[in-house]
Homo-oligomer: A and B are copies of this chain.
Amino acid sequence: MWHSAGGAGRMKENRIRERLLHVARGDEPADIVFRNAEIYHPFSCGWETGDFAVKDGCIAGIGEYRGLSEIDLRGQRVIPGLFDAHVHIESSLLTPYEYGRLVLSHGTTTVVADPHEIANVCGKDGIEYMLAGKSETPLDIFLMLPSCVPATPLEEGGATLTAADLKPFLSRDHVLGLAEMMNVPGVLAGDPEIEEKLALTRVRDGHAPLLTGKGLCAYVLSGLQSDHECTVRGEAEEKLRRGMYIFIREGSTERNIGELAPLVTACNSSRCAFATDDCHADLLLGDGHIDRCIRSAIESGLEPEIAIRMATLTPAERFGLSDRGALAPGRLADFCVLDRDADDFRIRQTFKRGVLWEDPGKTGRTPRIIQKPFACSVPDIAALQLHGSGKARVIGLVPGQIVTEDLRFDLDTGAIPDTERDILKAVVCSRYRENRAGLGVVHGFGLTEGAIAASISHDSHNVVAVGVSDEDIHRALALVIKSSGGMAAVTGKEKTVLPLACAGLMSSRPFEEVVRALSLLRAHTERMGAVPDPFMYLSFLALTVIPSLRVTDRGLFDVQAFRDVGIFSGA
């Protein structure tokens, strides 16, 4: 409630506070009193039996109160609404409205989103789109501004966002600061453009996978305050000690809780939070959101009370959102009722601003989307050909991680696909420019027939494809490009497509349909012999800020050397 503190906002705050004061004192009835709750307090990581009173969507008091209505919770456990410290909503493939539908049901009431994907495609319009999204769903969507659009100076995506472009957004409601600063070399070099962005705000999220020692010190003193890229316990421990908040990430392919949860203690839980970063809609529906993180952490041996603190108060403190994160007077009445009949940690009900969240289901409403026609044609099949032989650099997938390996294979391009050794061709085709396609070779997808393609391809979101034959790759690319965005799997004449009408990143359809399409895609790719979640690996194949080897619309890219390389050049 005290978050926005300027002029008119403060007057409104004062009026709300005055009304709450009457209720808190017991002079006037609350809107609603929740009786017989077992209330979790993140300040002490403990429980308290009692009633609490809600007025105007805020907690007025805890104790014996009268209410215009009352709900008896019969001793059920109540925790503050869950909080995702760092997420790209676009990765769910859903519009903000549909995303809200899904995660609210899982107990999430606040997310800090980085509209990095849509900003790479649509620039400032993309940020505006996400800002408007927060008014379509009861879910509180706060934004951190994308710091690296494009991800590197070498990329040519849909937009470039300078410090001057970002600055006006910082005074906007629900904008908190600067999102994950991925340009680690730029930070360490004191790049003036980066400095200018860092100086825009005092709230700055980091992104520094495997950074250690002197580099980490330089990065931290440059003002980066958090990291969600830790994959190794020692890495997270060092970053904690250097003063960073650690957002332990559990996304669709990025699963770090098993490794990192043992690091969390009662003492450092005030510096550790959860983040989902990138999660497809099917994972959100089937396994959950931050509730899933809590379950995973508990399975990894963490006390539930510590895990809940990480999912509530800690991120609220980290982002200075003193109006939430706990069930305490003056804070938002965002809370969850736990399912006491479940064997593990399950959310039974979510209340947002004191109101029970009830999913309206598929309403048939037409969502607001942002259209961005592709500027490229489908490349000629000849442009997909690869020549040469010898010791080749091959991108190696790492199961469950977004890092890749820089592998060496003796290779003859004539022998690709080499399904024996699981070596396939990868193609990245610019969606913003004509006739620009880059080729690479990848190990680990497992496909034995057909091809897959998608317009989700971090961070520029060109069209990326992997397949066993140029013909299949060509067909898959065509399916995606012709519908200005989508995910496609083809095998001969069989095809499965999920169109992504919203900027080529998100579906315009209800989550039920998206999940169904993903299921069809999964079934299809399984028949093709693919690893689980092949589209998630596909989407990171061109991500030039995460080690080691990537492919872009210019060809192979060595992340450590930070330059384009030839397939047969670096052996």
Contacts and interface: CB of A to CB of B under 8 A. Distances in A.
Nearest to A216: B329
B202 A5 contact: yes
Q: In the complex this chain forms, how many copies of it are found?
A: 2
B266 A218 contact: no
Contacts of A60: 217, 221
Interface stretch (A37-45, A164-172, A371-379): A37-45
A528 interface: no
Interface string A274-289: 0000000000000000
Interface in A166-225: 188, 190, 195, 199, 202, 213-218, 220-223, 225
A20 interface: yes
Task: Bin the interface of chain A by size.
Answer: 35 or more
Interface stretch (A124-132, A235-243, A386-394, A425-433): A235-243
A328 B190 contact: no
A243 B21 contact: no
A310 B228 CA distance: 26
Interface in A298-329: 305-306, 309, 317, 322, 326, 328-329
A243 B329 contact: yes
Contact of A213 (B46, B63, B202, B218): B63
A199 B10 contact: yes
Query: Which of A217, A225, A267 has the largest number of chain B CB atoms within 10 A?
Result: A217
Contact of A331 (B190, B215, B243, B329): B243
A455 interface: no
A199 B266 contact: no
Contacts of A309: 267
A267 B269 contact: yes
A62 interface: yes
Contacts of A14: 195, 199
Given A44-B267, A241-B43, A242-B62, A328 B214 contact: no
B61 A217 contact: yes
A215 B309 CA distance: 26
B265 A44 contact: yes
Contacts of A329: 216-218, 220-221, 242-243
A330 B220 contact: yes
A97 interface: no
Contact of A221 (B20, B217, B271, B326): B20
A44 B262 CA distance: 13
A527 interface: no
Contacts of A26: 214
A568 interface: no
A357 interface: no
Contacts of A221: 17, 20-21, 24, 58-61, 329-330
A21 B306 contact: no
A328 B43 contact: no
A305 to B, nearest CB: 8
A237 B62 CA distance: 14
A24 B220 CA distance: 10
A218 B188 contact: no
A43 B236 CA distance: 12
A48 B217 contact: no
Given A21-B190, A25-B218, A63-B213, 13 more contacts: A10-B199, A14-B199, A21-B188, A25-B188, A43-B271, A44-B241, A44-B267, A44-B268, A46-B241, A63-B217, A218-B329, A221-B329, A243-B328
Task: List the 10 closest A-B pairs by CB distance, nearest first.
Answer: A221-B330, A61-B217, A243-B328, A266-B266, A270-B270, A221-B329, A24-B218, A45-B267, A220-B329, A266-B267
13 contacts: A2-B202, A18-B190, A24-B217, A44-B237, A44-B241, A45-B267, A63-B213, A63-B214, A216-B329, A242-B328, A242-B329, A243-B329, A265-B266
